Every structure is written in structure tokens, then in C-alpha cells.
Structure 1
């Protein structure tokens, strides 16, 4: 029996343990220490997770892909069911199957059973809703217990990232930890030092803690709505009156956690009726084709890939030839900023709130520690660094810092 740290993220998951006195993340998919937070259900087969789930979907294997599972925590969707072949599963049961598979892989890699877990959690599962936050944590606690963890506790994800960063700190400093992930953006201001790292109780060193439910999947959604969905009919007129085509379908199709809601005969009938009354039915034909073929996740993957490519190289093409021959959409740094700039600004605003909570000016922050995949978005990074112009920018392990910190905390609590 052993303790572990589990970072169940919107986009990726890690699980770590302490071995030989040092924290390590266990391989969860081949040699990879991270596994995408995705699960694929194929009729008559055991579900597969991670990269294998994504590959099965991309290769056209009949079945249902579910991704961004964490996004439903704290929402009414958690108790809703989704059809998976001949059965219907609640979303909480889907999460349980995913986490059970992660736990089993980690135990196989470590050759031990984990009965104690420190689970990472965002500062806010749900913005402005303390009761929703409480329900989300309790749901995650129940799910963890259902897959075999007998002792379950939680740590804020930015605090966990601070514990990872602190392992390399040589003198006392005040750091702002920015964990910008797939579903949330979380911040902590923490006093760190080699001496403090050895203490079991660190509450007095946490000077501020805040977050907002904005992450990489929200950038995907806004980029999709601004760039791809107009090619499917978003904003196009109906034949009669001043009405535009109903937009609910496009918002669901652009939102990772809502895509599967479209895959039912009723929605197809509604889209078909809309097509008959649309001024540009050829656009609605594209929408109908994507929903009928259940290729919404393929669309989202293409948008996500273009977001990353445009961030890295300045421009990208979204290949939509699986929707219609020759169909593409262009994305460059300027259009990415235009479609998602409001999100980046809202994330940066939280830095000011954290400083006010801590009673500190920007010049008192010695280091800005960045972790999480969405810190790779140039306008997000620029917004954060502009808030703390004198702070030293420190790059964390993009997908591993939180998991390492949770592992440190798990060993400490078990200790």
C-alpha cells in the first residue's frame, strides 16, 4: 500500500509516487508520463484511454470519444447520462472508468497498490459558486473512493506547482505561481525557501490564492466560433425575416464537453429543418454532415492543432477536407489574438486580484512560475508578464509540475 499524487487535468493526467526519496511521475501510456484525459468507447470492446482513444477516433473506429472530462465537475452535466452503445452511463461513471484505468496502469508500473491519494483541484471548479465548488470536490472524492482510494485529500493545483518549484529554490523568495491549464487558470502567491520546504505546515506561507474557469479549451471554443463555425452556417441568415440560423448547435460543436450532446436523431432532425429554411443551406449541409458522421471531435482537434501551430510559428491552416473537399480555414497570430484576446485579458486580471489579496505590489514578486499547456499562448504569457515586469520568469514542467508537487505533498501527508 502506498500514497500517490494524482493530477487529473482537463487535457492531461499524471500520477506520481516518491521512490528513493525523490518524487517521480509514473509512465501511464508506453513511456509517456502523461496520458490525455480522453476515453473511447467502441461497441463490444473495453474502453481505451489516452492517445489510444484519440487514435481510435481519428482512424474512424466506430464508437464514442469523450474528452475534457473534468469540465463537467461542478455542473449539472455530471449526473446526466450519455448513450454508449446499448447502455447509458452517467458522466461521473465515465470519469470513474477513466481514473480506474489510470490507477491500474500506475500500479502496474510501480508494482504496488495505491490506497492513498492527494488529488489536485483548481482554486475554483465553478466561478462565483462556493456551493458548486463544494459539490465538485465531493463528487471527485466519491469517484476516487469508488476506484479504490481509501484515503482521499486535496491540494490546490498552483500550490502543488509551488512545491515542485521550491525544490530548486536556493534562498527565500515570493513567487506567483500561474497554472494555466486546459480548463482553469489558477494562481497562488507563496513564500518559498529551502528551510520552509521542510516544514509540514505551510498555511502561513500561502499569501493569496485565486483562479478563474478559463483554460485552453475555452481558447479552442472561441477560435472555432470565430473561424470555423461561420463555414458551417453560424451567423448566416434564414430565408424569412431578420433571423439568423440558431446558434446553439455551433456552441455545442465548439465546446469539447458538449459535443456528444449533438449525437442524437432529434438534433439531426432539427438541423435538417433549419437547412430547409436557411438562406444558405449549403453551409448547414456541412454542419449536418459533421454531426451525422459524429466528427465533432475531429473538428475540435483540428482547431486545437491550429491554435498550437499559430502560437508556435505565427500561422496555420485548419484542414477541413474531411468536412468538404478543398475546405480550409486560416489562422494567424493576429486572428488568434482577436478571437481570444478577451480570455487572455480575463486571465491576466486575476494577477491583480491575487496581489490585492496578498497586500503586495507587483515589485514584491521575485519570480513568476509558469506551468500548464496554455502558458504557451503568446498573448496569455505577455499579459501575465506585463503584470509583473520585474519578476524573473521561470518555466516549469508544462504538464508535470503540478503532478510532482502533489506527489511531494502525498509523501508528506503519509509521512
Structure 2
């Protein structure tokens, strides 16, 4: 019987699984699905995962419970559980649902119930916070167990990306890997060479790693704050008492800029507050959009429009932020320079962290032979410019932005030998 190992990249936006045949030492298949869960409005219908979640969400007229960016809540101590159809789900439960879906699809391809896997994790789940990082790792470990894996090792995601890149090399290189995903930006500096691919001991090749809690979702949140929230009543005034006019609390709009908060932004108290603000604002039309957004679980579709705007701007100098749903009408042209200004604070934070990372680890830019960028966020123009300006002498390489990490994790079987 063949022996298989699964390399699993559980991501904020997408999750991937690479199947590694340990006999032939080859990757036979790679599966990728959106990291999405949809609980049907009718509890008896259960839930669906991945692309099917989007289809069901739309066919149910967005009346069920749609869960996105589950990875973001792993490090959040404030999140303990959510109740869906009178059943409690904690962070590990939600992550396990996605991992089980990946495993089930892979098992169908291999014809086996594989229990051996290398699971990717960011260098830091939430910046350099040991307590949050420990919480996230504990939850992820529990989710992996719930998904049915018993032989497990964890590997930093950028190291996984590096091992995927190593398969294409013809000579030894000192490589700086930047993995820019939906939730984090991670760096690893290491030595790669074709002769060492799949070797059992790579510890001496790992020279430095680090990460910062900024990714594609951070950029989307900044965009939502600047360009989205005005359409949902950010500047709404209401009459608190006779003759006393106040602004609606800005915290309401900060919450809709963060998907993991919007996911669970459905308490009775907050809904009552919003109805009161709406009434005392004189039924402000744009604030009504906020109520419609929350009541009809439209968050995902709004952020899909933001994502599409972002993708268009990786290829063109202008895009239209367009959204028309249940009376919410957004149609606004966005220039590339305008978008880059919106995300400039976060790109600058990445640039500053990179500078700190290089200095802290005594890495001279002229000692770097190659740059390898992976992750969907690496395609953004200002990110590419950041690296080109910092390392003008080095070629910028990239692989499959959504499968590289999973493939590299599958090549990390040496972890089981230690």
C-alpha cells in the first residue's frame, strides 16, 4: 500500500492541500478551496464549504450564516464561541470544518484515510505576541486533531514556500522569502540548493524568520473604512436628546471594516442600538444601508466587490468599486494612486518591519541572491515596488501564489525524522 503525506496550507482566504507520495517522492495532486463555510438557513440542511458555500449563500438569498477568514479568530481571546442553529462552535470547531473538507477530498483521490500531515502556520499569528500566538497554535492543533490527523508536524508557511521554490533551482542560493497572505506577512531567510531538496536535516539552512500581522484583509479593511463606510452612514448625526445632536459612534463602522468582527456582529443589543440611531437620525438613508448590511448578512458580498476592485488595480490604473444589492448602491471610480494612498500606512508598516528584520538578523541586502514572493497580496503593485526598490540588484521570483506553500509543506516530510 502506498504511503501518503498531506501538506496543508490553511489560509485566511484560501486553503490548499498537496498530496505527497512518499514512495515516488512526488506531489500527485494539489487541492485548493476558498476558506469559507456557509450554514444553511434551514438547520436541517447543515453546512457547506468552499465554492459550494458561495453558491448556497446566494441561492439562500443570503439568509443563512456565512463564515469567512476563520484563521483571523485563532489568536483572538475575545472570541470563545458562536451559536449557530442552537449549536455552539468554538474557533477549533470552525477551522476543523475546513480541514475535514480538504482531507475528505484528498482521501477520495488517494483511496486511503491519511492521518499524516505537515500543517503550515504563520511565523506569528498576531505580531510578536507570545500569549496570542500560543492560543492560536493550541486552537489550530485541536482543529487538526478534530479533522482526523494523528501524525502531525507544523512548519512555518514561508519555509514551505521556500521548499517549493527550491524544486526549481539549479544552484545554491541565499533566498529571502516573503509570504504575503490574507492575514499576515511572513519572512524567512535561508539557504536553498537542489542537492538538499528533501534532505532530513535543514536546521542549519534556516538563518532567520519573522512576521507581521498585516495582509490582504488589512488592505481591504483600510479600503472599506475610506471608501465603503461613507455609504453605510459613517457621518450620520442623530438627536440624542431634544436639541442635542451627536455623531453615531464610530465603533459601529470600525466593526464592519473587520470581517472577523462583522461575522459575529449580530447581537440583539447592537441591533436595538442601530434601530434607535436610525430612528433618531430621522431615518437617514445611508445609515439604513448599515442595518440592511447586518440584517441580510451582506458582508461577504461587499468585501467581494472590494476584492475585485483590488484585483483590477493589479492590472489597470483605474477600477470601479461597484455594489448594488437590496437598495445599497455604490458606484465609484478608484484610481491606482488613490488605492495606493489608502493602503500606504500598511505598506509602510511592512517596509519598516522588513528593515527591522534585516537589521535584527544582520542580513546585508547584497548577500541576498534571490527574492521569492508568494501569496495573493504579493501581486499588489505597491508591494512589488517596495521589494524592487529595496533590492534593485535581485531578481524578483514568484510561484503559484495559492499553491506554493502547500507544496512546500508536503516536501517537509523530514520533520518526521527528527
TM-score normalised to structure 2 length: 0.92
> Which residue in the other structure is 2:18 paired with?
16
How far apart, in 1, do the equivalents of 2:57 and 2:321 lie? 18
Shift of 1:114: 1.4
Shift of 1:412: 6.1
> Which residue in the other structure is 2:36 paired with?
38
How far apart, in 1, do the equivalents of 2:36 and 2:198 lie? 36
Distance change >3 Å, CA 24–CA 247, structure 1 → 2: farther
Q: Conserved in 1, the CA contact under 8 Å of 2:198 and 2:413?
A: no
Distance change >3 Å, CA 370–CA 263, structure 1 → 2: same
Structure 1 stretch 114-123 or stretch 272-281: which is displaced more? 272-281
Summarize deviations over 1:214-246 as a string: whole Å, max 9, x none. 111111111011001111111344446674221
Distance change >3 Å, CA 406–CA 279, structure 1 → 2: same
1:209-228 residue pairs with structure 2 within 5 A?
209-228=209-228
Distance change >3 Å, CA 280–CA 312, structure 1 → 2: farther
> Which residue in the other structure is 1:66 paired with?
67
Counterpart of 1:295 (choices 290, 298, 304) is 298
Counterpart of 1:245 (choices 245, 248, 260) is 248
Summarize deviations over 1:249-278 as a string: whole Å, max 9, x none. 222222121112222332221111112333
> Which residue in the other structure is 2:362 paired with?
359
> Which residue in the other structure is 2:335 paired with?
332
Counterpart of 2:4 (choices 2, 5, 15) is 2
How far apart, in 2, do the equivalents of 1:61 and 1:136 lie? 30
Summarize deviations over 1:4-44 as a string: whole Å, max 9, x none. 11110111111112233212443xxxxxx310000101121
1:76 aligns with 2:57: no
Summarize deviations over 1:173-201 as a string: whole Å, max 9, x none. 11110100011000111111123335321
How far apart, in 1, do the equivalents of 2:328 and 2:251 lie? 26
How far apart, in 1, do the equivalents of 2:78 and 2:114 lie? 29
1:1-400 residue pairs with structure 2 within 5 A?
2-19=4-21, 20-26=24-30, 33-42=31-40, 43-59=43-59, 60=61, 62-78=63-79, 80-239=80-239, 243-278=246-281, 281-324=284-327, 326-400=329-403
Distance change >3 Å, CA 283–CA 198, structure 1 → 2: closer
Q: Conserved in 2, the CA contact under 8 Å of 1:320 and 1:329?
A: no
Distance change >3 Å, CA 241–CA 11, structure 1 → 2: same
> Which residue in the other structure is 1:29 paired with?
none
How far apart, in 2, do the equivalents of 1:289 and 1:37 lie? 25
How far apart, in 2, do the equivalents of 1:68 and 1:291 lie? 17
> Which residue in the other structure is 1:30 paired with?
none
Shift of 1:286: 1.1
Is there any run of 5+ residues in structure 2 with no aligned partner, and where? none
- The root-mean-square deviation of aligned C-alpha atoms, in Å, is 2.0
How far apart, in 2, do the equivalents of 1:286 and 1:2 lie? 50
Is there any run of 5+ residues in structure 1 with no aligned partner, and where? 27-32
Q: Conserved in 1, the CA contact under 8 Å of 2:18 and 2:410?
A: yes
Q: Conserved in 1, the CA contact under 8 Å of 2:236 and 2:287?
A: no
Structure 1 stretch 158-167 or stretch 101-110: which is displaced more? 101-110
Shift of 1:287: 0.9
Q: Conserved in 2, the CA contact under 8 Å of 1:82 and 1:88?
A: yes
Distance change >3 Å, CA 39–CA 77, structure 1 → 2: farther
Distance change >3 Å, CA 24–CA 223, structure 1 → 2: farther
**More helix per residue:** 1
Distance change >3 Å, CA 412–CA 264, structure 1 → 2: closer
